[in-house]
A = this chain, B = another copy of it.
Amino acid sequence: MKNQKINVGIVGLGGRGAVLSNILIDQADINVVAVCDVYEDRQLAIAEKIKSKTGHMPVCTSNYRDILSMELVDAIIISTGWKQHVQIMCEAMEAGIAVGCEVGGASIEECWRLVRTYEKTGTPAMMLENCCYGRDELMLSNIVRQGVFGEVVYCGGCYQHDLRESLANGHENRHYRLDEYLYRNRENYPTHALGPIAKLLNINRGNLMLTVTSSATKSAGLHEYIVKNKGEDCALSKAEISQGDIVTTTIKCAGGENIVLTLNTTLPCPYSRGLKVCGTKGMYNEDNMSIFLDDKHNQYHMEWKNHFGNIEKYRNVYDHSIWKKMHDDGMRGEHSDIDYLVLRAFIDSLKENHKMPIDVYDMAAWMSISALSEKSLLLGGIPVAAEDFTNGRWIKRDTAEYWQYELNC
């Protein structure tokens, strides 16, 4: 496919689908040939954009199987709700159509199905975890791989994002996440924090996640918000919310490292992925945008606050080549740039016939944390064993072979 245009179908045209579509339309080596959503207005909005840009109307459908049966489709992008991800991915792989899929959680059975379908078909599939392409996350991968932090023993990460407004209006704005909060309690959105950390710790490539332990606070924030903003008589104000406000999840790794994830989505807070990386020679703390290096910063002690934001001083040295190349290509580091980068990683890996930089084993391992944290909570907060989706191959799989795209960029 190296010098060909790739024919892409897009399945799911809500908030994320619209963002990804707009980027895909602009790629010179992509034809968007079909779009799919259960809502017709969404299909038409994107289709009109494509037509005005290319002169061709894409196929519009409310059934993704229409796209999977199109001979000319090379790849699909899935940006539906979480619940449909694995089913559509597996059907696409069976049809020999490459898949880039948005993030979310999945059941253990779904994760295994994903892995087995890939092993049976060999069809390329990648999770479009855009946060793996954040500027700081990429920079940290340079820093860690160059040994600047020594031996890394701990990584923390958050999905700290106040979703109260979109959840409270979930039944009106087609937001699919509300049911998650009404009926379930778990680390329901692990991959933004976990994805970049799993890469730093070489999970599935010499390292493995072994156990998952979760603890949840009571649920107070969403109910209070709904009562305040929709009134006490609103049906949702009377509903019981199952999801705790903050869920803390600790993951033990084969290499002796700990990963601590914090989900915080129903309280007022600034957006943060709260990345923290601690090693024997230094640490990084996203919450104050600082890097602390042994033998260099130790003397600051109580004056550390004067060094908030010192990460800017390290951009020149450690910015990742992927990020620099994007700037050379004329992009400017907007929020949507991480979407651009993750889509380019998928497209370029497909064209170059590289292994996908976030493959089905990563997807399965990362997505399974939702189910595992729910299990831990249901059992009173005991550690539960994580699954080894590589079936022992994690010991020999190495980063050089599997992360060709990123390491050689």
Q: Is A122 close to B, CB under 8 A?
A: no
Which A313-364 residues sit within 8 Å CB-CB of chain B?
335
- Starting from the known contacts A150-B224, A151-B224, A268-B281, 14 additional A-B residue pairs (CB-CB under 8 Å) come to A153-B218, A153-B246, A154-B264, A213-B250, A215-B252, A217-B257, A221-B280, A245-B278, A246-B258, A267-B279, A268-B295, A270-B307, A271-B302, A285-B287
Are A220 and B153 within 8 A (Cβ)? yes
Distance between Cα atoms of A172 and B254 in the complex (Å) = 36
Q: How far is the CA of A309 from the CA of B245 in the complex (A)?
A: 25
Chain B residues near A38 (CB, 8 Å)?
none
Interface residue from B221, B244, B304 paired with A271 (Cβ < 8 Å): B304
Within 8 A of B (CB), among A161-194: 162
Please tell me which stretch of A18-26, A67-75, A378-386 contacts chain B, meaning at least 4 of its Cβ atoms lie within 8 angstroms of it: A378-386
Would B270 and A292 count as touching, CB distance under 8 A?
A: yes
Q: Provide the bound-state CA to CA distance between A150 and B221, in Å.
A: 9
| Chain A residues within 8 Å of B, Cβ to Cβ | 150-151, 153-154, 162, 211, 213, 215-218, 220-221, 224-225, 244-246, 248, 250, 252, 255-258, 260, 264, 267-272, 278-283, 285, 287-290, 292-295, 297-298, 300-302, 304-305, 307-309, 335, 380-383
The residue of chain B having its C-beta at the shortest distance from the C-beta of A252 within the complex is: B215
Q: How far is the CA of A218 from the CA of B279 in the complex (A)?
A: 11
Contacts of A282 in B (CB 8 A): 268
When the two chains form their complex, are residues A220 and B280 in contact, meaning their CB atoms are under 8 A apart? yes
B218 A256 Cβ-Cβ under 8 A: yes
B305–A280 CB distance below 8 A: no
The CA of A299 and the CA of B288, in the complex, are separated in Å by: 19
A36 to B227, CA, bound (A): 61
Least distance between A95 CB and chain B CB atoms (Å): 39
Chain B residues within an 8 Å CB radius of A153 = 217-218, 220-221, 244-246, 267
Contact A278 B264 (CB under 8 A): yes
With A213-B215, A216-B258, A308-B308 known as contacts, the answer to whether A270 contacts B221 (CB < 8 A) is no
Chain B residue with the shortest CB-CB distance to A246: B154
4 closest A-B pairs by beta carbon, nearest first, are A218-B256, A270-B304, A268-B294, A288-B288
Q: How far is the CA of A309 from the CA of B309 in the complex (A)?
A: 12
Q: Report the Cα distance A304→B211, complex, angstroms.
A: 34
- The interface residues of chain B lying within 8 Å CB-to-CB of A383 are 380-382
Please give me the residue from chain B that is nearest to A251 by CB atom: B215
Shortest C-beta distance, A125 to chain B (Å), equals: 31
Residues of B within 8 A of A295 (CB): 268
Residue of B260, B270, B304 near A301 (CB, 8 A) is B270
List residues of chain B with CB within 8 A of the CB of A154. 217, 245-246, 264, 267
Q: List 6 A-B contacts (CB under 8 A).
A: A213-B213, A268-B295, A270-B290, A272-B304, A287-B287, A308-B309
> Is A257's CB under 8 angstroms from B293's CB?
no
Would you call B267 and A278 a contact (CB within 8 A)?
yes
Question: A215 CB to closest chain B CB, in angstroms?
Answer: 4
Name which residue of chain B comes closest to A223, CB basis: B280
Closest residue of chain B to A302 (Cβ to Cβ) is B271
- The closest CB in chain B to the CB of A161 belongs to B301
How far does the alpha carbon of A309 sit from the alpha carbon of B288 in the complex, in Å?
A: 10
